[in-house]
A and B are shown apart, each in its own frame.
Chain A
């Protein structure tokens, strides 16, 4: 874990009062936060990383946090911690998240103009096909790809099993694929 002093140095210029207050908060919360992180990540190293990241954000936003009532400061910090742990958890799964994907898209950009036009046409076609899906199907697709929900999370939310969510997802993909192919075929004809 990043030592508290180093963490405070890394964060923006803090006045003495803020420094002392953050140190106090850290002393009060570090153990609890560590065990919550451990509960999510099941790994000491990642849990420590989660707490460090959370404290970096807390120190950056301390002026806001210090204005909160004392009883709200703790849950606020835990919310930040859980979010950071969730990010670490996702990155450990080695999936590409939507944010990462957008970065990859920006980094690419080496295509020729012709390829770009085809890309746009392809994208528009896909958007049209997705728009024409049923409400529930569209939600499932948006949750899976736009919000990076796992099949378990989708299943939990809709009250179905992971396997059913996976099957529905596959069925929607097949539906999109077949529609896309049939449209391409008609155009070629």
Chain B
């Protein structure tokens, strides 16, 4: 446990008393300021810089409309009202106001920050899909062209294994090579369209962002290919073609996820 000096003890006691004072503050006589668009944007920036504990408190009040007594129960904090009013005053002072920010403006800004935060995974997924689509769009057609020209040896990625198994399916493979990036980008695009229509936060299931998900897909596909090859050899080439696509997408996504890295929350 970190040791606290007597001086720090006194400061902590004072600071706790300060927060307690805010808990009993009468807001009836306070002057409130209504913000312009520019000021609102600044407020959003300031709220987004608050630590998660403080942001959660604001979310509970302004997004989920919870009462102070409920917040006290849920978050196990002693002075939820005091903490919230302290934060509101801090935000007002940080923006250079002498008045308090109106509740309407606070609500609008907190909602915006909440939406931004929940969309982190959505935009990460979108980034991964765009990178995957670009890689597949550029790399795979180049590969096929080089293969058809007989300069395959110049390409470092060994795709010969699939092609040898497919033999007569080059044309179909060409089609899939074009479809591949489209598949990769179609899902986030649908999410994006849905978001534009609904104007509400769109939540992407977390497993989309999980690296293990891609690993599981790759292992599963390889297992399935071997299974089909042993038990239903007639369907091997088609299985290799379809599951090969899933393997390529997952592999590129895995690399893209590694490049982007998971957004740190703390």
Binding site for B on A (CB under 8 A): 31-32, 35-36, 39-40, 57, 60-61, 64, 68, 71-72, 74-76, 78-80, 82-83, 86, 89, 94-96, 98-99, 101-102, 105, 122-123, 126-127, 130, 135, 139, 141-143, 145-147, 149-150, 153, 156-159, 173, 176-177, 180
Contacts and interface: CB of A to CB of B under 8 A. Distances in A.
B14 interface: yes
Given A40-B266, A82-B265, A146 B15 contact: yes
Interface of B: 1-2, 4, 7-8, 10-19, 46, 49-54, 56, 59-60, 63-64, 66, 70, 73-78, 83, 86, 90, 93-94, 114, 118, 200-201, 203, 205-207, 209-210, 262-266
A35 B206 contact: yes
A116 B209 CA distance: 56
Contact of B12 (A57, A71, A98, A143): A98
Contacts of B118: 75, 78
Nearest to A95: B2
B60 A89 contact: no
Contact of B59 (A79, A96, A141, A145): A79
A64 B69 CA distance: 13
B28 to A, nearest CB: 24
A135 B93 CA distance: 9
B90 A139 contact: yes
Given A35-B206, A71-B200, A98-B15, A126 B10 contact: yes
Contact of A75 (B13, B18, B78, B114): B114
Contacts of B209: 35
A99 B77 contact: yes
Given A99-B78, A139-B93, A177-B7, A32 B16 contact: no
Contact of A153 (B4, B51, B66, B262): B51
Contact of A94 (B2, B17, B63): B2
A135 B200 CA distance: 38
Contacts of B77: 99
Interface centre among B51, B76, B263 (most CB of A within 10 A): B51
Contact of B266 (A89, A126, A157): A89
B93 A157 contact: no
Contacts of A35: 206, 209-210
Contacts of B206: 31-32, 35-36
A74 B203 contact: yes
A63 B89 CA distance: 33
Given A57-B74, A83-B53, A142-B86, A36 B265 contact: yes
A87 to B, nearest CB: 8
Contacts, number: 134
Contacts of A74: 203
Looking at chain B's contact residues, is the secondary structure mostly helix, strand, loop, or mixed?
helix
19 contacts: A32-B207, A39-B262, A57-B74, A71-B200, A75-B59, A76-B64, A83-B74, A83-B75, A86-B51, A95-B2, A96-B2, A96-B4, A101-B12, A102-B16, A105-B13, A126-B10, A147-B15, A149-B51, A157-B51
B228 to A, nearest CB: 29
A96 B73 contact: no
Contacts of B60: 79
A25 B153 CA distance: 53
Given A35-B206, A146-B16, A130 B11 contact: yes
A22 to B, nearest CB: 15
A68 B74 CA distance: 15
A158 B50 CA distance: 10
Among B11, B50, B70, B262, max chain A CB count under 10 A is at B11
Nearest to B67: A64
B11 A157 contact: no
A44 to B, nearest CB: 13
A176 B7 contact: yes
B16 A98 contact: yes
Contacts of B76: 99
